[in-house]
Amino acid sequence: NIAHSGINLTNCESEPIHIPGYIQAHGFLVALTADDFIIRYVSENTNAFVNRSATDLLGKPLDALLSGTELPVADVAAILNVGKRENAWSRMNPHRFRLNGRDWNLIAHQHDNLIILEWESADTTPGNLEQQLVAEALTEVQSNRTLTELIQNTARRVKQIIGYDRVMVYRFSADWHGEVIAEEKEPHLEPYLGLHYPASDIPRQARELYKTNLVRIIADVGSTPSPIFSVAEQREAQPLDLTHSVLRAVSPIHIEYLKNMGVQASMSISLLYRGELWGLISCHHATPRFVDFPARQAAKFVSQLLSSALEFRKDEEDQAFLFQIQQNEQKINSQILKDWDVVVGLTQHPVTALDITSATGAVLVFDNTYYSMGSVPDESAVAGITNWLGTEPFDTVFQTDRLPELYPSAEAFRDVASGLLAIALSKDLNEYVLWFKPEQVRKVTWAGNPDKPVTVAENGQHQLHPRKSFEAWLQTVRNTSEPWKDAEISVAIKLREDILQVVARKANDVRQLNE
């Protein structure tokens, strides 16, 4: 049993998950000194595979591990020498061997001065479906597919490669909470698509580790992890660093989470965007399920193609959004100039003030009159907002993604106006353009009954359940909208300048007429 060593729901971030002292028992691990191949660490279960007790092997040369097996020491030593000399570990993995009547993949890497050898069983049938899916994915990233299609198809391909019940694309937000943005699943499972989870479900040190080590599999949440033994003189030393390991035993807190969720195997693949974690492909299976190294590599490759598409598509889409709203702003400006009327120019044409942001509603308050576009609070509510804005210390632009927190009366219409972006045309005359965004989550549909109590374990671990997590997240985002993008704010400021110019020129015309 892994010692929790004081880790609980409130201090998850301090669990040192890269040095758990255990591996998952579906494979075995041996770590050798890089200079002379002396065994320094061995997982306890090694004896079941090589018929030598783990403690016997400590301090012995590599030969001790392989003697008595049909595996030539020279072959393994040759591989390690090449890996060492050229630091070619990742390019060379895996090495397929037959050992005691079974097929194995040896996955080797070097960390500090140790070479870590991990042995996993190899599927007997390497398929060409994988190759076909990888080829398809390659062609697709070069095509003109939208990011949404690429994301969905990546989930579909990963599911075909690893055969899990559910494959999700989980995207992180700026505050590290996340959302399921694509899902491929067996029909009987309740959908998680569109659900959000708090940042603490995947704590900081886990996200850091996942930037370095891009794939992890938890083959069986019910299996007992195997402890790693080390030589006597190292007993006081740090446990073996498993940052780059493929067999690392997983945090018991996360195991609990998966069990509560009815999941017995989990695999996830990191999605990086400019070196930062953008999301994860998260995969679940209801029964234990191992995926061998070549299949994991294929799934990783398909996911990395998505990451590489992100690198340019995401910029492209951000660029396209900015371009679109800038175009709309110019259109509105020319409408105002042509009509020589702010109200008509902003509200009466196919392109209105609503189209320069991603807001769902907008209001122009001008000349003591209220003009609405899209879904907005009613006139008296808007009057309340503008009166309050008049007392706020800003001259040009005001924005918030949590209006009810600043202006409590807004809680009554948070479903249309949790986010507010406002430009002041004249605070003295109470003239503004206002844009509104709704509360982030208005309606959530669980396939199951959300009021059904979760079974409560004696130790209170029931808190670790995605449904609970989702509720926790809902509490934190009540009364908040999606944030306003810099592009939206800067285009709104540009619109303000254009409007004020026309207002000033009109005032000037009136003055000249009167003179």
Nearest of 448, 458, 16 to residue 208 by alpha carbon: 16
| Nearest CB to ligand BLA, comparing residues 268 and 357 | 268
| Nearest CB to ligand BLA, comparing residues 105 and 282 | 282
The residue ranges of DSSP E strands in 207-295, in sequence order, are 215-218, 226-230, 265-273, 276-285
| Nearest CB to ligand BLA, comparing residues 127 and 163 | 163
Q: Distance (Å, rounded) from C-alpha 379 to C-alpha 367?
A: 14
Q: Distance (Å, rounded) from C-alpha 134 to C-alpha 136?
A: 5
Phi-psi region of 429 (alpha: psi -120 to 50; beta: other; left: phi over 0): alpha
| Nearest CB to ligand BLA, comparing residues 4 and 96 | 4
Whole-number minimum distance, CB 472 to ligand BLA, in Å?
9
Q: Distance (Å, rounded) from C-alpha 210 to C-alpha 42?
A: 24
Whole-number minimum distance, CB 273 to ligand BLA, in Å?
17
Whole-number minimum distance, CB 377 to ligand BLA, in Å?
34
Q: Distance (Å, rounded) from C-alpha 359 to C-alpha 484?
A: 9
Whole-number minimum distance, CB 213 to ligand BLA, in Å?
9
Whole-number minimum distance, CB 20 to ligand BLA, in Å?
7
**Mapping DSSP to helix (H, G, I), strand (E, B) and coil, where does residue 434 land?**
strand
Q: Is the peptide bond before 94 cis (omega within 30 degrees of 0)?
A: yes
| Nearest CB to ligand BLA, comparing residues 124 and 459 | 459
Instruction: Please report, for residues 212, 277, 386, 387, 399, the alpha-carbon distance to residue 392 in angstroms, rounded to integers and kept in the order given.
Output: 46, 38, 10, 9, 11
Nearest of 379, 501, 466, 509 to residue 198 by alpha carbon: 466
Enumerate helices (H) and strands (E) in the chain, giving the number of each. 16, 18
E strand or H helix at 107: strand 102-111
| Nearest CB to ligand BLA, comparing residues 216 and 437 | 216
Contact positions vs ligand BLA (CB under 6 A)? 9, 12, 15, 17, 168, 170, 180, 192, 197, 200-203, 206, 216, 218, 250-251, 253-254, 257, 266-268, 280, 282, 464, 466, 469
| Nearest CB to ligand BLA, comparing residues 266 and 418 | 266
Whole-number minimum distance, CB 36 to ligand BLA, in Å?
32
Whole-number minimum distance, CB 234 to ligand BLA, in Å?
23
| Nearest CB to ligand BLA, comparing residues 231 and 253 | 253
Whole-number minimum distance, CB 278 to ligand BLA, in Å?
14
Angle at 216 between CA 246 and CA 113, to 5 degrees: 30
| Nearest CB to ligand BLA, comparing residues 39 and 280 | 280
Nearest of 279, 269, 280, 254 to residue 174 by alpha carbon: 279
Q: What are phi and psi of 61, to 5 degrees?
A: -75, 170
Whole-number minimum distance, CB 15 to ligand BLA, in Å?
5
Q: Distance (Å, rounded) from C-alpha 313 to C-alpha 278?
A: 13
Q: Is the peptide bond before 288 cis (omega within 30 degrees of 0)?
A: no
